[in-house]
Structure formats: structure tokens, C-alpha cells
Amino acid sequence: MNIRNQLICAWSAVGFASICLAGFLFANFIPPISPNLSAEEVAAIYSENALSMRFGILLIMSSAGFICSFAAALAVQMKRIEGDLAPFTYAQLGAGCISTLVFVFAGVFWTGAAFRPDHDPELTRMLNDLGWITLLMTFAPFIIQNIALGLCILSDKQAKPVFARWVGYYNLWVAVLFVPGGLLTFFKMGPFAWDGVFVWWVPFAVFFTWYLVMFYILLGAIKRQAQSEPTVAA
């Protein structure tokens, strides 16, 4: 039963990545709306694509719940490393659940911009700004999740570790790649703007790749647990 439940939660990664990516595509958010556009230009984008944007934003917000269940599946395997006193496990789980709110609140702001496309263009642009700033500048929970997971994996001294050590280093490197998101507050153009290489394209690719990589790694850990602990699989 425990193994089945873990597998259900592990598959949340695929659910999140596929639904969220579909949402960004329907909302025409790839690439993001440029922070350098005028209020009238931003309002025109929301007005011309109102229906598809609303649907896409709904998908993005709906997908966010899967983040929690995937973090829970990771936490179960992390506890196999740390035992009952598991600070990294709880830090990862808490940060993962908080990450859900990042997508939810970003979606709320975008929905506000798309819900009434005929209101003041300055208000539309402000809501759009808040959506992108919420998504990309609130990088702290994502970094904490990766650091906690990475350090937990590297602390595993068992003869047969739960995860390979390279997975720990991989998570620490992913955390580093999220840091440039904090610089978007200083730029409206260039690689550090919210549609730039270091704030959008690199973190975007790394983020969704991480879910697919960790999904595959997690499945392996769960299957190994089922083989080594038959009572858990029962």
C-alpha cells in the first residue's frame, strides 16, 4: 500500500509538468510578455487573447497542487536517509508546498488582468507585472527545496544509498541557477529582465527538466525500496 501511494504521488511530477506547460502555451506566455512594453501594448495582448489566456492561466493554477504531492513523495524517500529527526525532509516538503502558492498567486494576478480586458491599460499592466514578478522573483522556496534535497542526499552514508550522489550535486546546481531571478527588479530589457535568458529561459528549462529528472530518479528509489522492504510494498 505504501509503495502504491508513493508511486501515485511520484506521478504528480508528470501531471504538473504537462498541465502547467500546456497552460503557458494556451496563455501565450512562452515567451513572456515583455516588461518593456507600454501599458497600451500589454492591454492589447490581454484583450486580443482573453479567452485563451484565461484558460491557460486556469491550467497553470490547477497544476500547482501536484507540486505538494510530488514533494511528499520525495519526503518519504528522504526520511529513509534522515530517520525520525529529519530537518532536511521537512524543509524540502514545506518549501515544495509553499511553491504551490507561487503559481497560484501569479495566476490570480494574471486572471485579474485577463478578466476585464477593457479596464484601464495601466491597471492591466500592473497586474501583469505582479504576475511575472510573483512567479520569477519568489525563487526562495524553490532554492530551499533543492538545497534541502541536495544536502540530504549527500549526507546519506548507507552502504546502499537511497539516491546516487550525483543527484545531490545536481540539486545544488539547480538551486544556483534560480538565483538570477532576483535581479529582474533592476531590468526591463536584456538577459536579466523577466523575459531574458538568465531569469526566464534558463530557469524555465531547468525547472521543468528537474521535475522529469527527479520523477525518473524517484521511481527508481521507490522500486528499490519495494524490493528491499517487502513489508512496505504489501
% of the chain exceeding 90 in pLDDT: 87
- With 0-12 / 13-18 / 19 or more C-beta atoms within 10 angstroms meaning exposed / middle / buried, residue 75 is buried
Alpha carbons 83 and 92: distance in angstroms, whole number: 15
**Rounded distance, CA 203 to CA 180, Å?**
9
Query: Is pLDDT above 70 for 231?
Result: no
Average pLDDT, the chain: 93
Cα angle 109, 110, 116; round to 5: 100
Of the candidates 10, 18, 12, the one whose C-alpha atom is nearest the C-alpha of residue 218 is 10
pLDDT at 117: 78
What is the Cα–Cα distance from 147 to 234, expressed in whole angstroms?
33
Q: Where are the domains of the chain?
A: 2-233
Q: Per-residue pLDDT tens for 196-217?
A: 999 999 999 999 999 999 999 9
Query: pLDDT-based confidence at 230, cuts 50/70/90?
Result: low
- pLDDT at residue 94 in the model: 96
* Confidence grade of residue 41 (pLDDT, cut at 50, 70, 90): very high
Other CB atoms within 10 Å distance of the CB of residue 40? 11
Mean pLDDT computed over 139-165: 94
Residue 221, classified by CB atoms within 10 Å of its CB into exposed (0-12), middle (13-18) or buried (19+), is buried
Split at pLDDT 50, 70, 90, the class of 159 is confident
Q: How confident is residue 226, by pLDDT bands cut at 50, 70 and 90?
A: confident
Give the separation between CA 95 and CA 98, rounded to whole angstroms.
Answer: 5
* Segment 43-96, tens digit of pLDDT: 999 999 899 999 999 999 999 999 999 999 999 999 999 988 899 999 999 999
